[in-house]
Amino acid sequence: MLRRAFQGLSRLVRLPKIASVVQSMEEQAPERQASLKRDLEKDGKEKDVKKQKLESRVDKKKKVAILFGYCGKGYHGLQINKDMPTIERDILQALVKAECIPQEHADDMSKMSFQRASRTDKGVSAAGQENFIQKINDNLPKSIKVFGHKRTTKGFNSKNHCSSRTYLYLTPSYAFAPFETFVTDEYRITPEIINRVNEILKLFKGTHNFHNFTSGVKPKDPSAKRYIIDFTCGEPFVREGTEFVILTVKGQSFMMHHIRKMIGLTIAVVRGFCNEDVVELAWKADKVDIPKAPGLGLVLDQLHFDGYNKKFGRDGIHEPLEWDMYKDEIKKFKEEYIFSDIIKTEKEEKSMMQWMATLTKHSYNNERADEAQGTVKQDVKEGSSSDGNCLGSSETTSQLPDISSTTSQISDFQNKETVSCAGDSTNGEKTGTQSHPTEIIDSEMKLQISKPAESSETVNEQKAELRS
């Protein structure tokens, strides 16, 4: 009994405590609810911040490689130059208008890690929108076209990661005509001569000391050593009545004038101005006089990233820098804007034909060439006369007149006409200003005559007088 009474008393004592706890919980409930609400709001804000950070990561600039082509006519080169029209300037402004980069990045290219794979090719910038290639092209002239882009690694360097380059050289096929041939636009190259051209081009393949094929590089300079992977001459084709061929050279890297001098020496050998031993002689330390072909037909065709593609192109994140999917589009652009412009300019200015007339000025440091030059100069001196016969003996078809000695013997004719002798055109530029050029060709001698428009009879009479 006593125990039961004690248990009942204990229950009575606990009841006020329970009531007190319940009352305390009820009083604290609003505060807890407010605290819980604050926690939820805080959590929501944190999620918003994370979402904003995630969105900002999406908009973060990425490094990409852009493939584009262009015809450089009317521009002062590729590299951006203040107050001068350049390819890069138009590309950057098109990127700004397509909202791929801000204007401040176009003004200061260091802010977007802008790079070039070569002085004549492409750059890298940030872009992220769909269909942005079309937006860029909408803001570019027709002579510049962006073909595509690919995401690259953060450390990608378009110049250092470029393992090799391929260049094309478009030239009239008469550049390889034997020197006794009467050269006109109707000339057509033979399969035997194409085979001979390929034989000479093959000599350049491999690693050699190319100090004689550039300027300012000494024989012992390590940079003179270059590796040529392939060098070939393609099949001829006719455009606007003139036959052309394309030389294709692939090399690890090239120096200034390197390709033009290899082609210049090849033309000299095939035409018979020197023998192929001069090619081997050029690898040695002695200085060799090598002609430099005109720059008009030279085109950077392709950049190769073999090492980069092998290391990163199959990692599942980055694509290999290969552009085969744009092959047809690139071919169409080259035909429509690049090759067509080269062919048109060559037809108008005859830069190759003018340059061919200067091959007699070079010694090639070769005994045969030196003897031939001496014989030609003597024949020109003996055959000259005061009536303007500047071409020497017409019977000497195997010997070529020297331009410098010939020019001094046409002073009587210069009183009537403005005569400019063919010179070395380093960039395919016109050596004289002609409105109505009359071409006079004997063996390999060519003069460009500028004068006002005259009747066809007068022109024919003067042409016959000079050839007599």
Q: Which residues are annotated as a binding site for substrate?
A: 167
Whether 121 is a known active-site residue: answer yes
CA distance 109 to 368: 54
Catalytic residue among 43, 48, 90, 121: 121
Active site residues: 121
